Amino acid sequence: MKKTPLYNKHVSLNAKMIDFGGWMMPLQYSGILQEHEAVRTESGLFDVSHMGQIMVEGTAAREFIQRLITNDISKLRDNSILYSPMCYPDGGTIDDIMIYKLNMDKYLVVVNAANTQKDLEWMQSHRDGDVTVTDASEQYALLALQGPRAQDILQKLTDIPLEQIRFFRFMDEVNIAGISALVSRTGYTGEDGFEIYVSSQNVSRLWDSIVEAGQEYNLVPAGLGARDTLRFEAALPLYGHELSEEISPLEAGLDRFVKLDKGDFIGRDALLKQSRDGVSRKLVGLEMVDRGIPRHGCQVKADDKIIGQVTSGSFSPTLKKNLALALLESRFAEEDTRVDIVIRNKSLKAKVVKTPFYVKRYKK
Amino acid sequence: MKVIEGLKYSKDHEWVKVDGNKAIIGITDYAQDSLGDVVFVDLPEPGEVVNAGDAAAVVESVKAAADIYSPVSGTIIEVNTELEGSPELINEDPYQNWIIVVEINDASELDFLMDAEEYERFCKEEA
């Protein structure tokens, strides 16, 4: 089992540790509900060092990435970030990734922990021209400081005016409490916040500095449990749930990250066909009408026939409702459509609702 | 971890308070702590007949759903409907906030349950 450099810190904070894709990660410290609420109203600090980092370099790096992803990297500027699915020729999703443009010939690609090896192999096997693909996951540790107080807290530790880092932008070699870091205004919670990349040796010191600076803002350490309920309310996809090798980004409703007119890329033909013919399945939001909590894998029925399944389901701590994301036959995707979710062999009523379930206006 | 003297305990972390021929049943402090924040309780209908070891109710936290097994056979005569609106009561005081009451068919089944001391040892071994 792999451990992040902060493993001992989590144990000393009495975190409940779980196996997450081969990593020992904190599920919760004080409790998922409290940590969730703290991130929505104040701020929370997450160790997400399990995420994979892949460095792509060379004069052909940009063209190489462009062929692998569904989004369009051609207009991406230095110090900006692109979110994109990466697909197989059949349109199924290999992973959803973040691409940080360090310069014209150098990109930091951040991938889901459990997919790191698969992504590396895929990328390496598609190399063409002057491009190198290197696993940099061991060098980087990653903290996510999330919530409306995130900027106030981090600003105490750096002279760089953080308001200059806009949404999906980053700055490299920022001095934070004496530690050099790459800071991006990104996250996976639906709140404002930062993700901070530092070398593994320095992350423990950085964690302590942020915790201390955050005291006056009620900062709490937050685990993967709250991270999941937060991203779920914001309807941000989780690989293995809303996206998978069997689910295309168009089915998952990620149309705005699929640029069919950007030129050729892997998966384009299949996605173009889905786009022309219309997808047969669609990701929708569901709200329970009956009492019950839908969970990943629950069947969804209409008139006693299976029409899809729940990809993620949970009690929503912010909205106090039982909600689900579900992949349904497209004709059931319209808002207010009534369906049944099968929970413990009982068909319980639910209705289609808009996603994201929760929207916060924050700095863009 | 809190364990209360005078109650009986199951290996599935239910507690039983015996009151005449009635068994008042809830989940232990150990159980609520390992579940985490309880956000949903699914109760049976009073009148349902259960065998010892049957799933009689469901308690769900944010992350997980746990079946609550009746440690004794009998008829469910009461359910704690307050938990439907306030499931967090189970976290706040798991011994005060019982889940179901079963009219006991066979009192000898109680002999298979642990006392406080045995249960405490059992939890330590499990952890």
Q: How far apart (Å, rounded) are the C-alpha atoms in residues B79 and B92?
A: 18
Contact between B63 and A344 using a beta-carbon 8 Å cutoff: no
Interval B1-22: pLDDT, tens: 899 999 999 999 999 999 999 9
Contacts of A338 (CB under 8 A, 6+ apart): A289, A302, A349, A350, A351
- Percent of chain A with pLDDT strictly greater than 90: 98
Q: Is B60 helix (H, G, I), strand (E, B) or coil?
A: strand
Q: How many CB atoms lie within 10 A of CB A6?
A: 22
Interval B31-83: pLDDT, tens: 999 999 999 999 999 999 999 999 999 999 999 999 999 999 999 999 999 99
Interval A242-269: pLDDT, tens: 999 999 999 999 999 999 999 999 999 9
The answer on pLDDT for A21 being more than 90 is no
* Partner A contacted by B116 (CB < 8 A): no
Q: Are A51 and A249 in contact (CB under 8 A)?
A: no
Which residue of chain A has the CA closest to B32? A31
What CATH number was assigned to the domain covering residues A53-135?
Answer: 3.30.70.1400
Closest CA to A284 of A197, A352, A216: A352
Which residue of chain B has the CA closest to A29? B36
Question: What share of residues in chain B are helix, strand, coil (percent, to 5)?
Answer: 25, 35, 40
Contact between B39 and A295 using a beta-carbon 8 Å cutoff: no
Question: What share of residues in chain A are helix, strand, coil (percent, to 5)?
Answer: 25, 35, 40
Q: How far apart (Å, rounded) are the C-alpha atoms in residues A262 and A276?
A: 16
- For chain B, the distance separating the N- and C-terminal CA atoms, rounded to the nearest angstrom, is 12
**Pick among A25, A315, A322, A346 to test the B interface (most B CBs inside 10 A):** A315
Which residue of chain B has the CA closest to A34? B37
Beta bridge partners of B114: B9
Out of B36, B40, B84, name the one closest to residue A293 (CB): B40
Q: How far apart (Å, rounded) are the C-alpha atoms in residues B116 and A87?
A: 57
**With bands split at pLDDT 50, 70 and 90, how would you rate the model's confidence at A11?**
very high
Contacts of B60 in chain A (CB under 8 A): 293, 315
Tokens of A41: 């109203």
Superfamily of domain A2-48+139-233: Probable tRNA modification gtpase trme; domain 1 (3.30.1360.120)
CATH topology of domain B8-121: OB fold (Dihydrolipoamide Acetyltransferase, E2P) (2.40.50)
Contact between B36 and A229 using a beta-carbon 8 Å cutoff: no
Closest CA to A31 of B123, B91, B83: B91
Contacts of A34 in chain B (CB under 8 A): 37
Interval A190-230: pLDDT, tens: 999 999 999 999 999 999 999 999 999 999 999 999 999 99
How far B41 CA lies from chain A's nearest CA (Å)? 9
Interval A73-130: pLDDT, tens: 999 999 999 999 999 999 999 999 999 999 999 999 999 999 999 999 999 999 999 9
Out of B36, B40, B42, name the one closest to residue A31 (CB): B36
Strand A81-87: give its sheet, edge to edge. A81-87, A93-103, A106-111, A52-57, A132-135
Which residue of chain A has the CA closest to B60? A293
Beta bridge partners of A214: none
Interval B112-125: pLDDT, tens: 999 999 999 999 99
Q: How far apart (Å, rounded) are the C-alpha atoms in residues B71 and B31?
A: 15
How far B19 CA lies from chain A's nearest CA (Å)? 31
**Pick among B37, B59, B86 to test the A interface (most A CBs inside 10 A):** B37
Q: Where exactly does CATH 3.30.70.1400 map onto chain A? A: 53-135
CATH topology of domain A255-353: Elongation Factor Tu (Ef-tu); domain 3 (2.40.30)
Arithmetic mean of pLDDT over chain A:
97
Interval A283-325: pLDDT, tens: 999 999 999 999 999 999 999 999 999 999 999 999 999 999 9
Please give the pLDDT value at position A231: 98
Lowest model confidence (mean pLDDT) among A25-34, A79-88, A353-362: A353-362
Helices (H) and strands (E) in chain B, counts: 4, 9
Please give the pLDDT value at position B126: 84
* Partner B contacted by A33 (CB < 8 A): yes
- The single-letter DSSP state of residue A359 is -
Contact between B40 and A291 using a beta-carbon 8 Å cutoff: yes
**With bands split at pLDDT 50, 70 and 90, how would you rate the model's confidence at A363?**
low
Contact between B65 and A293 using a beta-carbon 8 Å cutoff: yes
**With bands split at pLDDT 50, 70 and 90, how would you rate the model's confidence at B127?**
confident
Out of A33, A292, A295, name the one closest to residue B37 (CB): A33
* Partner A contacted by B36 (CB < 8 A): yes
The answer on pLDDT for A364 being more than 60 is no
* Partner A contacted by B58 (CB < 8 A): yes
Q: Where exactly does CATH 3.30.1360.120 map onto chain A? A: 2-48+139-233
Out of B39, B42, B84, name the one closest to residue A315 (CB): B39
**Average pLDDT, stretch A149-160?**
98
Please give the pLDDT value at position A362: 56
Q: How many CB atoms lie within 10 A of CB A320?
A: 8
Out of A229, A292, A344, name the one closest to residue B62 (CB): A229
Q: Are A91 and A248 in contact (CB under 8 A)?
A: yes
Please give the pLDDT value at position A89: 98
The answer on pLDDT for A361 being more than 70 is no
* Partner B contacted by A293 (CB < 8 A): yes
